[in-house]
Structures are given as structure tokens and as C-alpha cells.
């Protein structure tokens, strides 16, 4: 028997008091041109023994600056997704409440936008694999 191997990606559905989710506009030359990403990223080899909340904190600081937020410590959704070259990513989604601070995006994304959380806006702004997780948040 051979066990499956996955990359792990931690994503955060960061919501404000208006029930909007933070979307990060994807690079035009990336895997989601014309769509929005969620804050977060893959777990690196040297990080595999760190807690997911600690890794999420690092990713959020890298991608959107030093904001204040309250993380729900339990994942709200998980799924696997095929990426190029036959690799699989196991996505684990968490919800967090945005509390304060300026959103300062890294060069990994083009812009940021608070997007109302509704079936229509999810369909318009996000790719298939993020749509699944976001739709769970509005049920």
C-alpha cells in the first residue's frame, strides 16, 4: 500500500461586521487570473510541526499586514484539489473575524476587496475550489 501525499494549504475566510469576505485579486499570470483568492498559503517543509493557527498568523501577516482578527480554531471546510503536474493540495479553510488594522497586501496579489457574502458574489469573484468553502459559510 502506498499512502497519498498532499501539499497542505491553509486558507482564511476573513469576514468583517458587514458579512463581507476579504478577497485578494489574483495575479494575471497565476492560476486564477480574473478572480479573487483568500488569504493563506501552503505549509512549507520546515513548518510541518507548527500549529495551524501559528501558520495562519504568519501567512496573514505576509499577505495582508499586521491586522487584528479572531480566528475560529476549528476548520470550517476541507477539500482536495488537483493542481498542475498531477499534484494534489489539501485545502483547510478557517473562518476569522476581522477586528481592526489596515489591509496592506503583499506583491502576491494585485489588490484587496471586501466582497459581500452571497451566492451571486461568490460565483462572480471566486474560482471553483474557493466557491465550495464559501458556499458552506452562507448556509
Question: Residue 88's pLDDT is what?
Answer: 87
Cα dihedral 49, 50, 56, 62, rounded to 10, equals -100
Q: Of 63-67, 109-113, 134-138, which one has max mean pLDDT? A: 63-67
* Confidence category of residue 81, pLDDT binned at 50, 70, 90: confident
Q: Is the dihedral of CA 95, 102, 16, 121 positive or negative?
A: negative
Set of cell numbers at residue 109: 496579489
Percent of the chain at pLDDT > 70 equals: 99
Give yes or no for residue 118 having a pLDDT over 80: yes
> DSSP code of 109?
E
Mean pLDDT, to the nearest integer, of 96-117? 93
Give yes or no for residue 139 having a pLDDT over 70: no
> In this predicted model, which residue has the larger pLDDT, 12 or 87?
12
Q: What is the pLDDT of residues 31-68, one digit of tens each?
A: 777 889 999 988 888 988 999 999 999 999 999 999 99
Hey, what domains does the chain have and what are their CATH numbers? Answer: 7-137 (3.90.79.10)
Amino acid at each position: 500500500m502506498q499512502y497519498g501525499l498532499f501539499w497542505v494549504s491553509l486558507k482564511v475566510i476573513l469576514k468583517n461586521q458587514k458579512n463581507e469576505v476579504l478577497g485578494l485579486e489574483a495575479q494575471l499570470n497565476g492560476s486564477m487570473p480574473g478572480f479573487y483568492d483568500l488569504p493563506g498559503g501552503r505549509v512549507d517543509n520546515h513548518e510541518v510541526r507548527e500549529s495551524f493557527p501559528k501558520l495562519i498568523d504568519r501567512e496573514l501577516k505576509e499577505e495582508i499586514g499586521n491586522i487584528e482578527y479572531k480566528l475560529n480554531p476549528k476548520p470550517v471546510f476541507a477539500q482536495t484539489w488537483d493542481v498542475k503536474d498531477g499534484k494534489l493540495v489539501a485545502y483547510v479553510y478557517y473562518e476569522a473575524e476581522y477586528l481592526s488594522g489596515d489591509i496592506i497586501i503583499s506583491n502576491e496579489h494585485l489588490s484587496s476587496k471586501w466582497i459581500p457574502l452571497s451566492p451571486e458574489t461568490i460565483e462572480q469573484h471566486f474560482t471553483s475550489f474557493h466557491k465550495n468553502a464559501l458556499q458552506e459559510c452562507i448556509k
